[in-house]
Amino acid sequence: MKKWLILLVLATLGATGAAAQDAHLKALENGNDASPWEAVGRLDIGGKGFCTGALISPDLVLTAAHCLYDKTSGERINHETVEFLAGWRSGRASAYRQVRRAVVHPDYSYAEDVSSARVRNDIALLELARPIRNTTIEPFETAPRPRKGDRVGVVSYARDRSEAPSLQEVCTVLARQQGVLVTSCSVDFGSSGAPIFVFADGRAQIVSVVSAKAEMNGEDVSLGTALGAPLDFLRAELVAGKGVYQKSAPIAARVGIGEGRGSTGAKFVRPVN
């Protein structure tokens, strides 16, 4: 039986047998390498940390829901303190925008026992204060989730590469279970919310966002959330005027040992954050 060791704040993934044919990470430090990926940006979270996000329209950024929660108190943060730095590298961004509104999937619970249910609903949509209309920054399209065995890629910032994104152009979909995409893509602290791509007709399309790191059959993997209907719902929430910040009461994060709700037979243990 496949076992996942969930680590919700991401730690370094080493080379494994499942990832033996994967491409290495490539730093996107110069204009030629970085230009196709300017719509991927760093999300600075109130000066306390960062995640990765990607434009899917001139004013909408796709990321992970857990990026909008304070890891100490478990309280939803004021998204107005979040800044999207499109194409951030070497101390400069192609565009800077504050976040005006933010919606998270209604079935996501930061306080929920760690489980596949929490991972598969770990998706958020941010509306920027002003659209980014820059000919060098082209929002990405989204596409249905890939199948097991398909090749995907990921672009992300991380703890040891916070000043420029890195591209892993080839990694593999290992499984699709309980609405969670399991891949061999390499992730680390700060990779939360990073776009996972398929490449069709020479274009990158987002099929998932990075939620967590896990271990499957003794090998390090990354976990991504589904798009499709969840993303459509979040778009509708913004159209309906939702996403205005309201301070919530602090909540105590619960951590379960064993199989949580919506389990796929995985063994879940305490996250490291």
Q: Which residues contact 133 (CB under 8 A, 6 or more apart)?
A: 58
Q: Which residues contact 232 (CB under 8 A, 6 or more apart)?
A: none
Question: What range defines the domain where residue 63 resides?
Answer: 26-239
Which one-letter amino acid corresponds to residue 28? L
pTM of the predicted protein model: 0.84
Rg (the chain; Cα; Å): 17
Number of domains the chain contains? 1
Low-confidence ranges of the chain (pLDDT < 50): 1-20, 249-273
For residue 13, is it within any domain? no
For residue 249, is it within any domain? no
Q: What's 193's domain CATH number?
A: 2.40.10.120
What is the pLDDT at residue 248? 53
For residue 102, is it within any domain? yes
Q: Which residues contact 180 (CB under 8 A, 6 or more apart)?
A: 116, 119, 120, 211, 223, 224, 225, 226, 264
What is the pLDDT at residue 189? 79
Q: Can you tell me whether residue 15 is helix, strand or coil?
A: coil
For residue 251, is it within any domain? no
- The pLDDT tens digits for 46-99 are 878 899 999 999 999 999 999 999 988 889 999 999 999 999 998 999 999 999
